[in-house]
Amino acid sequence: MRRRALLSLFGGGALFAAETELDRAFQRMYNFDFPSAHALIDSYIGAHDDDPLGYTARAAAHLFSEMDRLGILATDFFLDDEKMTDKRTLRPDAGIRNAFYWATTQGRERAEKKLISNASDKSALLALCMVFGLLTDYAAFVEKRQLGSLTYVKQAQHYAVRLLAIDPEYADAYLTTGVSEYVLGSVPFFVKWFVKLEQTKGSKELAKKNLLIVAKGGRYFGPFARILLAVVALREKRTLDARVWLEGLVREFPQNALLRRELDKISPKIR
């Protein structure tokens, strides 16, 4: 029954629908074809320079290509708390770092400008959720500033709460709220005294419910939510659920060699 329920998320609207150049850019990112993603983003920005989502997509492509290069995206990294908090310095590419921070700044400035003229601009609010989410990941996983990254988590959550107050059906915004719930539910109790996130209980069950909303209906982040749900399932020793998520993702993004390796890694355990 549970397997059928998970499989249903890969039917209809759950599959990635490439409609614009930006949609296609995200599709190429999920296939780990970063050069093609950047080319599509360049074309999109050339026609929509005032759209903050173009620049946040560019920042995402820089971040995930760098995390892939550094070996951060493999599930082994996220399943081992010592690896996640290991302070040994990585060797980030300086050029990518500069390009990443430049793109986040461009996206943030354009989004804030739009909000001045229209405080309810949903694409601007989503862009700010994305910007601060990307900054969180870069600070926590590349720069190894886990505690420092919590400032970005708070900002991302603030804009997600604003966006969902305007449109509770805006599925992509639930990625931020889901991650915030999971982060707060995972940090030591003494850290929670200092970290206050809007409308966040620190419930891992609520985190998974929010991620399922994105997995089903997210336009840009649906596949990412499904990847996170696979990681959560592995952390919770629900190997069969993780396999279902990964099988669907491999079908959806056949050029992503990392997803195939992760699926092959767990398949012998459940035969």
Can you give 212-257 as a three-state secondary structure string? HHHHHHCCCCHHHHHHHHHHHHHHCCCHHHHHHHHHHHHHHCCCCH
Domain membership flag for residue 7: no
pLDDT, tens digit, for every residue of 189-210?
434 434 555 555 556 788 889 8
Domain membership flag for residue 259: yes
Predicted local confidence at residue 194, as pLDDT: 46
Residue numbers of the domain that contains 176: 22-85+94-270
Number of domains observed in the structure of the chain:
1
Predicted local confidence at residue 1, as pLDDT: 45
Instruction: Report which residue type is found at 179.
Output: V
> Are the C-beta atoms of 247 and 227 separated by less than 8 Å?
no
pTM exceeding the 0.85 threshold for the entire prediction: no
Domain membership flag for residue 13: no
Residue 44 CA to its chain's centroid (Å) = 21
Domain membership flag for residue 2: no
256: which 2 tokens? Answer: 């992503």
Predicted local confidence at residue 82, as pLDDT: 54
Domain membership flag for residue 206: yes
Predicted local confidence at residue 87, as pLDDT: 52
Q: Which of 9, 8, 119, 109 is nearest to 56 (CA)?
A: 109
Domain membership flag for residue 11: no
Predicted local confidence at residue 100, as pLDDT: 97
Locus of tokens 């992503």: 256
Kind plus residue range of the DSSP H or E element containing 132: helix 122-137
Per DSSP, 146 falls in state H
Mean pLDDT, all residues of the chain: 84
Predicted local confidence at residue 260, as pLDDT: 93
CATH number of the domain where residue 244 is located:
1.25.40.10
> Are the C-beta atoms of 28 and 40 separated by less than 8 Å?
yes
Residues of the chain with pLDDT under 50: 1, 7, 11-17, 84, 188-194
Predicted local confidence at residue 176, as pLDDT: 85
Domain membership flag for residue 168: yes
Domain membership flag for residue 8: no
For 176, phi then psi, to 5°, come to -65, -45
